Chain A
Amino acid sequence: MLILLMLGAAFTTSVAHARDTGLIFVSNEKSHDISVLDPDSLEVIKTIPTSRRPRDMNFNRERNKIYVACGDDDVIDVIDIATLRVEKHIATGPSPEAFELGPDGKQLWVSNESNATVGFIDLATGEMAYELATGPEPEGVTLSPDGKTLYVTSEIADMVHVVDVASRTIIANVLIGTRPRRTVVSPDGSELWATAELSGEVYIIRREDNQIDEAISFLPPGMRIADVTPVGIATSPDGRTMAVTLGNANHVAMVDIASRKIEDYILVGSRPWEAAYSRDGKRLFVANGMSDDLTVIDAQSGRVIRSVAVGQIPYGILIDD
């Protein structure tokens, strides 16, 4: 009891202001947990056990909770940042992979990999309000900043489905490269950037007419095109750079958004998956799925600062800053 009280006290002091703790959260899909890193020491200070196969993570609107999709238990776990514990589970469809919370934080959209749908969950009731059929193995889910359009990729259909949120209908299907993964809306809101893992490209889709504007191919020095498997994509806070993880090529590509030119390739760990910038834009974090570590990069110089061991098969990164 005393120990519990002491632990409680320790947490209340460390999380007196739950927001902006700077903590770095890494979901580990094979060890079923989340590694929590201190932003200064870059050491793992806690490991939070979750439901099985945690992957995509998002903050709630107040940024005091973390939602994490746990594919093998068909739930989204809700973690309280103050206690760093799972406090509840939201039932989803089978095998949730990626999701996005609505702008008011009252609903979420989740891709259910096994039954090829994107589902809309009302968080007040926890009920699935409706589902839309997608191509097989839906993956990345991105809501436009105005909350009006939802983009869902299908790994097997090689498509980005464009969903009109108000009418709950798919209004366009953009056929891109092989095995589409993640999407992100460009900082000016005019484009959707989408990674295509098996064709080694990033597609830039114009949001106004849902047409492909350009495809960027990557090839780090000494690599072969077959090794280039882009998955994660992150926008720098200054809106100038897109960081793209290149999977089996073990590099991250830095793309200048305005010119669409590749400015740098940075060597990271084995099979980098997702990437995330710190809010000040100074650091870029990359989760390396096949070397069970996190690469910390100085974003200005492109130099690797450190590699930190995390759990097994790290997948996503979320930073509370």
Chain B
Amino acid sequence: MSKQLHRRRLHEQIQRNLLHLLTALVLLVAPGAFADSAERITIGYLDLAEDPRYAERSAYARIQLRSQSRPLPGAKVAVDEANQVGQFLGLSFELEHFRGRDLDDVLAKLSSWADDGEVRFVLLDLPAELTAELAAKSRNKESLLFNISAPQNSLRGSDCQPQLMHTHPSYAMLTDALVQYLVSRNWRELYALQGELAADAEWTSALRHSAKRFGAELVAVRPFRLGNDPRQRERNNIALLTAGESYDVVIVADTEGEFGRYVPYQTKAPRPVAGTTGLVPQAWSWVWERHGAPQLNERFFALAKREMHSADWAAWVAVKAIAQAAVRTRSTEFAKLAAFLHSEELNLDGGKGPALSFRAWDNQLRQPILLATHDAVIARAPVDGFLHPRNTLDSLGADAGESDCDMKR
């Protein structure tokens, strides 16, 4: 209110006296919310104009199959929150969004941000290959990157980088969470249907690893193909695809979703469906109702005019981590903040229960995973009974001894 009043007065002043114009303009562009704030942190955000993950799918009848919304509002909600905290400490936060055409474009932006020293904390909403290349090529820059949307295990493994953090869970964490739950129900015989995409194959491979890890059995993996061709019926007919074996659960690995949505209720045997459809492991759900989640979901909806999904949460929590580093170290110095973010001192409230921090061995944010249907969270992993010698959250995804990540290479 006082801000608006302030601006209105300034506006009148401009009209009255041209001599004051220059002063007035300087005041107008000064940081609006916290006129007396001494310190400011600008957080960068990079994405692609034509990211295939957000391309409108050619689904029949233009039915949208999954969230094709970019997670930018998640970062905005967190910046608003951070500023509400910062107002009491003389700290302010700002988001600078750059949408590039290609790798060179976003790399150039990242380099100029780092070289100017203006923007050192940067959120990346990029496909996995680009994330890997960008991180490799900017390894010598003094910046800290946050992968908010690519779940590929390789980014945390062979392609890991010391300055690349991951707030989005990996495929391994997602499938570990799902298998923990299925095993806790004693539904141990899994039957997988796998799509044709590389991501589908990676999903299945993560599932195979999780099954082995937690004592489930992957009875069979059947490739599926969309279509009605009777000559291909062994691959496109769900009843035929799910016949001939005994199993407890059908697991669908269809990251695109066009096939998967028809699997429930069409299986040969009456079995539950999980994976990328049915019961889905995810970082966030709009119906999660504990640990302050309703408040966050409300704030997100008010800003984005849509429900909050996993990548939105990953963007939100990345900004929140940066803000906590600044508040707790009482500093805006890059080295201090980065050291704090890498340390176990980070004690992040992610709205999912336990406090969160980054794993030292692969820079992945340890976090609970929600197992949700389209309208309910059925369980939260780690599921009760699955233990770990140090932190139960590390029962999800690559543990210290298992990681392929070599930061020093």
Contact = CB atoms under 8 A, between A and B. Distances in A.
Interface string B318-330: 0000001001100
A157 B348 CA distance: 11
A155 B291 CA distance: 11
A6 to B, nearest CB: 41
B349 A179 contact: yes
A226 B84 contact: no
Given A113-B295, A155-B292, A175 B327 contact: yes
Nearest to B88: A173
A155 B347 CA distance: 13
B111 interface: no
Given A95-B295, A155-B292, A175-B327, A136 B84 contact: yes
A23 to B, nearest CB: 30
B228 interface: no
Interface string A133-165: 101110000000000000000111111010000
B85 A136 contact: yes
Q: Is the interface of A mostly helix, strand, loop or mixed?
A: loop
Nearest to A134: B84
A276 interface: no
Contacts of B355: 178, 198-199, 226
Contacts of A241: none
Given A158-B327, A226-B391, A114 B298 contact: yes
A203 to B, nearest CB: 14
Interface in A100-137: 113-114, 116, 133, 135-137
Nearest to A200: B355
Contacts of A161: 88
A295 interface: no
B88 A135 contact: yes
Nearest to B289: A30
Contact of A173 (B89, B347, B392): B89
A170 B89 CA distance: 12
Contacts of B327: 157-158, 175
A104 B292 CA distance: 33
B369 to A, nearest CB: 15
A135 B295 contact: no
Interface in B342-384: 347-349, 353-355
Given A113-B295, A155-B349, A199-B355, A136 B81 contact: yes
A226 B85 contact: no
Contact of B347 (A137, A175, A178, A248): A178
B87 interface: yes
Contacts of A137: 292, 295
Nearest to B298: A114
Contacts of B324: 158
Contacts of B328: 175
Nearest to B330: A175
Contacts of B292: 137, 155, 179
A156 B327 CA distance: 12
A226 B298 contact: no
B87 A156 contact: no
A224 interface: yes
Contacts of B298: 114
Contacts of A178: 347-349, 355
A199 B393 CA distance: 16
A246 to B, nearest CB: 14
A75 to B, nearest CB: 17
A198 B347 contact: yes
A135 B355 CA distance: 19
Contacts of B348: 178
Contacts of A155: 292, 349
A113 B355 CA distance: 21
A15 B328 CA distance: 53
A159 B353 CA distance: 19
Contacts of A177: 347
Contact of A226 (B295, B349, B354): B354
Interface in A153-211: 154-159, 161, 170, 173, 175, 177-179, 198-199
A136 B296 CA distance: 10
A248 B353 contact: yes
A247 to B, nearest CB: 10
Contacts of A199: 347, 355
Contacts of A133: 84, 87
Interface string B380-403: 000000000001110000000000
Given A114-B299, A170-B88, A173-B88, 17 more contacts: A114-B295, A116-B84, A135-B85, A136-B85, A137-B295, A156-B81, A156-B349, A157-B327, A158-B327, A159-B88, A177-B347, A179-B292, A198-B347, A226-B355, A226-B391, A226-B392, A226-B393
25 contacts: A114-B298, A116-B84, A133-B87, A135-B85, A135-B88, A136-B84, A136-B85, A137-B292, A137-B295, A154-B85, A155-B349, A156-B85, A156-B349, A157-B85, A157-B88, A157-B327, A158-B85, A158-B324, A159-B85, A161-B88, A175-B327, A178-B347, A178-B348, A179-B292, A226-B354
